[in-house]
Amino acid sequence: MPQPRPYRGRRFPLATPHLSLLGATPLRSILGIAAALAVLATCDIASARRNGYFGNCAQCHMGGPGAQVSVMMTPDQFNLGDTVRIAVTVSGSAINVGGFYLTTAGKGVLTPVGGDSRSSGTQATHTIPKNASGGSVTFEVVWKAPSDPFALHLSAYGVAANGSNTPLGDSAAMPIVNIDRLVGCTGAMYFRDFDGDGYGTSLVPPILECSAPAGYVDKGGDCSEEDPAINPGAVETCNNVDDDCDGEIDDNAAPTCGVGLCRRYAEYCSATAPCFPGTPSPEACNGLDDDCDGKVDQGSLCMGGLVCQGAECKTLDAALASDPTFVPDEGTDPTTVSMSGMGGMAGSNSSNAGGPVVSAGGSPSGVGGLGAGAGGGATSLSAGTGGTPIGGTPSVSNAAGSGGMAVPSASAAPSASCSFAVGRAPISLAVFAGFSLLFFALRTRQRRDHR
């Protein structure tokens, strides 16, 4: 029977399962071992870092039950050029030895205290793992603050090690301690602005600085650092994009129609969308364009001789006290009923004190038409300018309101004289009423005698 040929240095056949070096080891176990080897290779084994490392301890040390780091600065409040003592304490439930890393982000100078730490100027770390006592270990350094205004960014890292001379099973302190402080300046928080639109992103933590570093701005909230046209200061348009970064798409971007309180949005976001303005209402002293004519608080809107200023009715003296250049709006709003008449039912569309003038055949602006005058409810038989009197008798004169019961202006006091001047009553109301009764009595008697 032929004997098997001995192996003479050839490769094993790949199809021979019993010659596999890993046998039936699952794939995830293989990947786990590979990851551990990669960590060890990267960190050069803990023994290679026993004299400290200028970097984040969590990059290598992992798997332990947890650790904490704290920082104490003495004095806590300091000024430019001061010397500050910094103590970094690392603690943990399973700590045997500990280490630290401290950085001031390039500000000031760090100097070691004792032989358990070393410094590169603005960074410090341990020289050898320090034995823990009572579950913690403390390292100290001295820091000389800069003499010019600056923003301090101090970060402290710690590691609670088990002393096995490997990074596995150790605990990196989490979270790290960050101290940000302005010294000698006011400064602000600045946001990273990648697209140069003046607004920074919230995806990158803002930084506290005395002035804006290159690429940073003092406004945040940008929701798209790839497009400078999109930021909180942009105008929303109908494009199915959140242009102004308020979390809403095409909000308030639809076309509008109407002005003032009649302004309305179209039914949908399109230039051809139907749009229906609101209905105007009488103007009021409220700082709004109620009647939708593009003007705010125009016309005589207040009672008792008050004027409208700043959406409220006040005396003219008070209005001038707050604004010496104030000029009351004496214009007439045809949709408004004014209540500024002198003692009567005012509401005149003219500038005279009194009610709505209704002269038969005459102009509604003449004094002496049918209206409410001083004292209320006076009725004239004469017409307005150029009109025909209610009783059928021609007016005494074509002068404005002459021949009837004139309505005095707001600036003229009522008079019982017989002057025909505008704003004067030719006869008293009592005399007028007496003659009217006598006239109708005589007419009635004549008709009876005629029959």
**In which element (H, E) is residue 407 found?**
none
Q: Which residue has the higher pLDDT, 380 or 256?
A: 256
Q: Would you say residue 110 has pLDDT above 50?
A: yes
How far is residue 231's CA from residue 198's CA, in Å, rounded to a whole number?
8
Under the banding of pLDDT at 50, 70 and 90, the label for residue 449 is low
**Other CB atoms within 10 Å distance of the CB of residue 387:** 21
The predicted pLDDT at position 432 comes to: 61
Per DSSP bridges, beta strands 62-63 and 168-172 are parallel
The predicted pLDDT at position 320 comes to: 95
The predicted pLDDT at position 52 comes to: 75
Q: What percent of the chain has pLDDT over 90?
A: 50
The predicted pLDDT at position 450 comes to: 56
Given the structure tokens 């430019």, which residue do they identify? 80
**Mean pLDDT over the full length of the chain:** 74
Q: Which of 16, 115, 99 is nearest to 64 (CA)?
A: 99
* DSSP track, 98-109: EEEEEE-TT-SE
The predicted pLDDT at position 35 comes to: 52
Q: Would you say residue 304 has pLDDT above 50?
A: yes
Which tokens in the block code for residue 234? 């942009």
Q: Would you say residue 291 has pLDDT above 60?
A: yes
What average pLDDT score do residues 181-185 get? Answer: 96
Of the ranges 30-34, 211-215, 284-288, 441-445, which one carries the lowest mean pLDDT score? 30-34
Q: Which of 206, 167, 177 is nearest to 61 (CA)?
A: 167
Of the ranges 39-48, 183-192, 306-315, 336-345, which one carries the lowest mean pLDDT score? 336-345
The predicted pLDDT at position 21 comes to: 38
What is the model's pTM? 0.52
The predicted pLDDT at position 233 comes to: 96
How far is residue 186's CA from residue 149's CA, in Å, rounded to a whole number?
9
What average pLDDT score do residues 342-360 get? Answer: 36
**Other CB atoms within 10 Å distance of the CB of residue 305:** 13
Domains of the chain: 49-183 (2.60.40.2410), 186-250 (no CATH), 254-336 (no CATH)
Q: Which of 397, 312, 302 is nearest to 340 (CA)?
A: 302
Of the ranges 121-125, 254-258, 428-432, which one carries the lowest mean pLDDT score? 428-432
Q: What percent of the chain has pLDDT over 70?
A: 62
Q: Would you say residue 275 has pLDDT above 50?
A: yes
Q: Which residue has the higher pLDDT, 365 or 93?
A: 93
What average pLDDT score do residues 396-408 get? Answer: 39
**In which element (H, E) is residue 318 found?**
helix 316-322
Q: Would you say residue 247 has pLDDT above 70?
A: yes
The predicted pLDDT at position 430 comes to: 54
Q: Would you say residue 317 has pLDDT above 60?
A: yes
Residues 266 and 243 sit within 8 Å (Cβ to Cβ) = no
pLDDT in tens, 354-395: 333 333 333 333 333 333 333 333 333 333 434 434 344 343
The predicted pLDDT at position 165 comes to: 77
What average pLDDT score do residues 95-100 get? Answer: 93
Q: Which residue has the higher pLDDT, 433 or 358?
A: 433
Residue 388: exposure state from Cβ atoms within 10 A (0-12, 13-18, ≥19): middle
What average pLDDT score do residues 342-347 get? Answer: 35
